[in-house]
Structure 1
Amino acid sequence: MVLFMGRELTWWGDQAINLGLNAKANEAGKVSYTVYLIFIALQAAGPFVGLLVNKPSRVQRKDGVPVDMSITNNSWKELILTAKLFFSKEFLLIIPLIGQGVYTEAVMFTYASLWFTVRARALGSFLSGIVAIIAGNLLGAFIDRLSLPLKTRARGSFFVVLGLQGVWWIWATVLVTDFHRNKIIYDWVDPGFGKAFALFLFWVAGFQLNYLFL
């Protein structure tokens, strides 16, 4: 969970830059090339920042137990165990859920690029990190409630996450049908922006919930 939250915080910082550089772009089109140059510079700095990270062999849990690195010390053993996992019943049965969860990411960003101005898309990217962190923590708080039986937490999460996913797709079908009819591009000052923009944020929340639950 910590790794996921760290990833979202990093994404949020990147998108703050994106929003700041495109805040005046109230029209359809592409983001400023300056955004990409800054992102490239940040990525290029990654290997040097990585030198500051502690060695895996020195990592330990909060209770003082060191992390077991036995698998990663034997690449062949890791490949065999990974292959066995890929062909296990548990993994094969979960593939459809992975497919429907990951598919959302392509659709929601296409949705944003088709029906929103540059700065509205930048706002969506900025808020998506916040929404993902909130959704992920709410799911984690429920799953970690030891006062409830594990079966209740697992099944309850499954039906809520997948049920909401169905709601988002129905909502999207209704909205996009209307968008095709009216050929509108939404900016954040336009009437009707809220209902169109909210779907994008709910899609982000749904993607994060699916991802963490899986």
Structure 2
Amino acid sequence: MATTTMDDKRLSHEVNTPEHSVSEPSGTLELPNSWKYKRFRILGYTFPWYASPPVQLVIVSLVCFMCPGMFNALNGMGGGGQLDSTANNRANTALYSTFAVVGFFAGTFTNKLGIRTALSFGGIGYSVYVASYLCYNHTQNLGFTTFAGALLGVCAGLLWCAQGAIMMSYPPEASKGRYISWFWMIFNLGAVIGSLIPLGQNINAKGRSVVTDGTYVGFLVLTLLGAALSWSLVDAKDIIRHDGSKVIVMKHPSWKSELLGLWETFKTDPYIIALFPMFLASNWFYAYHFTEVNAGYFNTRTRALNGVVYYIMQIIGAYVFGFALDVKGVRRTTRAKAAWVALFVIIMIIWGCGYEFQTTYNREWATDENTVKKDWTDDGFGGPFVLYMFYGFSDAAWQTCVYWFMGALTNNGRKLANFAGFYKGIQSAGGAITWRLDDIGIPYMNMFASNWGLLGGSLLIALPVILWKVEDTVSLEKDIAFTDETVEDVAPKAHVGPAGESVSEKV
């Protein structure tokens, strides 16, 4: 279900007519008499009501903590925890191939099915994916892992579209960076905890070993819990923010209207195409990070340790960039330019160091059965370890900024659902290409060069959008025009007037 948020001041300006005059709140916000809006005070802190954006964001984050988080922990091990990365490469090639197709239309399907259904369906896909690796440990059934990857591509397309629509459209403009940051930190905490499981089970295994059944079972249980948790979300029409503002809900969209809406996004916002290379780059580096660096250079227990610190640095990167993007007293246009500069500098420094590291080994060395992979007790471990940490940091910085850039372009939930669909679809196409390239044995240095070139080049292509399309605020007229004929009335926004009486406004 798509949503369009409205900033309080802009909304009150639009409805400031004699029959809809609204006073600014001078007392306590009056909420509907429902369990969804009850507030609880624990240890001196008053928690937000259940149907508030922060609580809903935490629920979505926990779903991703337990589903994509476990997926990331498993893939972060390199080869899906297997010594031979063939099954992982083929499963992920199938995954990102179907994801790339579904991603383009995920906004349409999510709007039609609803966020809860999309998230739950997505969670089941992660469960099947994990189960296929558990099966592979015993049967070497390559067909099942490939099928599970293809199925997950369909499921994940819907899950990430629903997540993106909530994360970008529920918060007010001034808080979008922090919402993205909160999500990314909670989500990656799942990968940290997930990586601790194989680390604990393999901490004494200095040689070559695969991930145990217990690891896969733990991941499977968590993904199933995540799929179930998605049903605890409330409908978008029930969300009330702290200032009393609500969201505009799409009126029972038809498949035809939604497909036309997808085309309408290209027609009204063609500049989004300039961000497509950044979308492509955002998943391009995972095959290199996980398989060609972590699995290619390190032994099993060190791969698990690297996975832990990789995702810890993702949490730190999301925190730093998310909160910096919402810093008070600085115009949004200035923050957008500063974010672009920061990304460019980080990419040049980290991948410049990565070039020096990549010259020290190649695929032939990594795939030789007689090669003894590097352990955390070996001399020279520190440099590659720190580099891998900052690969994780730069990943979070990139993803956080891309989401923030999209959220800064509009507050219209229907557009943002389509933007999120484009984002996940294109980045998945990149993932499908790189996992396939690794499967056919592309030289590591070639893969490295493609990553560095794409990251730097995509920033240059996106620069005009950052300079000329990001505004300090998006006018209500721009937001509402896109869905002017397909929105339904929203329940009144309630304030407490000067004398304590309830004052309502309606769009």
What's the TM-score once normalised by structure 2's chain length? 0.39
Give the Å deviation of 1:86. Answer: 4.7
In structure 2, what residue type is equivalent to 1:138?
V
Aligned to 1:49: 229
In the alignment of these two chains, the number of paired residues is 213
Aligned to 1:74: 253
| 1:37-186 equivalence runs, <5 A | 37-70=217-250, 73-76=252-255, 77-86=257-266, 88-110=269-291, 111-180=293-362, 185-186=373-374
Deviations 1:56-113 (A, max 9, x none): 4433323232333327x42534433333335643211011122223212221112101
Bigger Rg, structure 1 or 2: 2
Q: Pick from 179, 194, 212: which aligns with 1:14?
A: 194
CA 1:67–1:47: 2 relative to 1, 3 Å? same
* Residues 105 and 207, structure 1, Cα contact 8 Å, conserved in 2: no
In structure 2, what residue type is equivalent to 1:107?
Y
CA 1:93–1:195: 2 relative to 1, 3 Å? same
Deviations 1:136-163 (A, max 9, x none): 1111222112322323211111121122
Rounded to whole Å, the distance in 1 between the matches of 2:198 and 2:262 is 38
Matched residue SS, 1:68: strand
CA 1:50–1:141: 2 relative to 1, 3 Å? closer
In structure 1, what residue type is equivalent to 2:290?
F
Rounded to whole Å, the distance in 2 between the matches of 1:124 and 1:187 is 11
Give the Å deviation of 1:210. Answer: 0.7
Give the Å deviation of 1:174. Answer: 1.4
* Residues 60 and 66, structure 1, Cα contact 8 Å, conserved in 2: yes
Give the Å deviation of 1:29. Answer: 4.3
Structure 2 gap segments, 5+ residues each: 1-179, 366-370, 403-507
Q: Pick from 359, 365, 386: which aligns with 1:198?
A: 386
Give the Å deviation of 1:121. Answer: 1.1
CA 1:17–1:86: 2 relative to 1, 3 Å? farther
Higher mean C-alpha deviation, range 155-164 or range 110-119: 155-164
Aligned to 1:187: 375
CA 1:156–1:21: 2 relative to 1, 3 Å? same
In structure 1, what residue type is equivalent to 2:379?
P
Deviations 1:99-130 (A, max 9, x none): 22321222111210100111111112122222
What's the TM-score once normalised by structure 1's chain length? 0.86
Matched residue SS, 2:356: helix
Rounded to whole Å, the distance in 1 between the matches of 2:353 and 2:372 is 17
CA 1:190–1:158: 2 relative to 1, 3 Å? same
Higher mean C-alpha deviation, range 32-41 or range 43-52: 43-52
Q: Does 1:211 align with 2:396?
A: no
Q: Give the RMSD, CA atoms, in angstroms.
A: 2.4
Rounded to whole Å, the distance in 1 between the matches of 2:264 and 2:205 is 51
